[in-house]
């Protein structure tokens, strides 16, 4: 009887001991469950998510609300009437046309010229480092200094007109004529080609060398290797450079504003001019509806670029 009574006593002590261990290690088990459940990464991302909500998502929702009311005081719901009014606005249409024309010219030129420069440097020509540095120098120059140089060059009595006068060309008022877009395109390219070129250089160096060597051994020409091999591996970089150049083309307002002021010549009146002047007039419903239309167009263009890149580079391994 005594032996039979001692055995359950030992089992009870073992059970009580394991319970004490579980109680002591309770905090550790909770931490392990947090990590195993995947909650810890979301806790780390929570501050960033809160910041995005406060400074981006909530203000964007407020803009959508303002674009559908007559004004912030009466707050009468008018649905799409503000969008109809903004599309009929002459100043908005002029600004949208000028911005679209500038982007259609400047962005493809920025992508193609930077790719050609990167391919030129990829041939290991002499003085590669100096050539690369010279194209990156514009990124270090402040905008105000750049605008000052451009005013000296493209002024009616500037350096360029004096140079062209030696060939019998009449003076051109570059900043107050239809040729103003040329000045801004040249300024945009001079400012952005260097950075885009560096991106393409890194992408060219990441192309598998064995594929190019096999194509060379099989008798493939330079055009075939570029269009059938290199261009497919460059498609993600081309997409990134295009989107980056598109965004930078909408930021050209700083240079144009310092060159020409609030109300420039018609060919230089950009969407940013319209936004800035509308904000000064405190016309919230017009400003909000223009911003929403601009955002929709940007999302549509970037989405089309992503679809094109996926179809073009779908057979290339990541």
pLDDT of amino acid 219: 79
Question: How many Cα atoms sit within 13 Å of 1 on the Cβ side?
Answer: 0
How far apart are the C-alpha atoms of 232 and 108, rounded to whole Å?
Answer: 18
For 206, phi then psi, to 5°, come to -90, 0
How far apart are the C-alpha atoms of 211 and 308, rounded to whole Å?
Answer: 24
Q: Which ranges of the chain have pLDDT less than 50? A: 1-6, 10-11, 13-14, 21-22, 24, 27, 29-31, 34, 318
In CATH terms, the fold of domain 88-312 is MetI-like fold (1.10.3720)
For 77, phi then psi, to 5°, come to -75, 120
pLDDT of amino acid 41: 83
Q: How far from 159 is each of 138, 175, 273, CA to CA, in Å?
A: 20, 14, 28
Domain regions of the chain by residue span: 1-30, 88-312
Q: Sign of dihedral through CA atoms 73, 79, 83, 85?
A: negative
pLDDT of amino acid 313: 63
Give bridge partners of residue 69 from the DSSP assignment. Answer: 77
Structure tokens at 115: 């790719």
């Amino acid at each position: 009887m005594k032996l039979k009574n001692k055995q359950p006593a030992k089992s009870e002590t073992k059970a009580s001991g394991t319970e004490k261990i579980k109680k002591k290690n309770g905090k550790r088990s909770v931490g392990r469950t947090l990590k195993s459940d995947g909650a810890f990464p979301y806790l780390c991302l929570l501050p960033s998510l809160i910041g995005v909500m406060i400074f981006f998502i909530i203000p964007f929702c407020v803009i959508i609300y303002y674009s559908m009311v007559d004004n912030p005081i009466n707050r009468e719901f008018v649905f799409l009437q503000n969008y109809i009014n903004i599309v009929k606005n002459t100043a908005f249409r002029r600004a949208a046309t000028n911005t679209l024309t500038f982007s259609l010219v400047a962005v493809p030129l920025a992508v193609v010229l930077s790719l050609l420069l990167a391919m030129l440097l990829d041939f290991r020509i002499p003085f590669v480092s100096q050539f690369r540095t010279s194209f990156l120098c514009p990124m270090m120059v402040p905008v105000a200094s750049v605008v000052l140089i451009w005013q000296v060059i493209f002024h009616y009595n500037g350096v360029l007109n004096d140079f062209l006068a030696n060939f019998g060309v009449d003076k051109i008022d570059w900043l107050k004529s239809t040729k103003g877009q040329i000045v801004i395109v040249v300024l945009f390219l001079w400012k952005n080609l260097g950075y885009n070129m560096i991106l393409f250089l890194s992408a060219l160096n990441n192309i598998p060398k064995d594929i190019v060597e096999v194509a060379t051994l099989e008798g493939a020409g330079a055009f075939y290797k570029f269009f059938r091999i290199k261009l497919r591996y460059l498609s993600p970089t081309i997409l990134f450079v295009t989107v980056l150049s598109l965004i930078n083309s909408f930021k050209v307002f700083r240079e144009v504003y310092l060159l020409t002021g609030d109300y420039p010549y018609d060919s230089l009146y950009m969407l940013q001019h319209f936004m800035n002047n509308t904000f000064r007039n405190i016309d919230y419903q017009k400003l909000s509806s223009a911003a929403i239309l601009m955002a929709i167009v940007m999302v549509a263009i970037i989405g089309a670029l992503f679809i094109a890149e996926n179809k073009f580079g779908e057979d290339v391994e990541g």
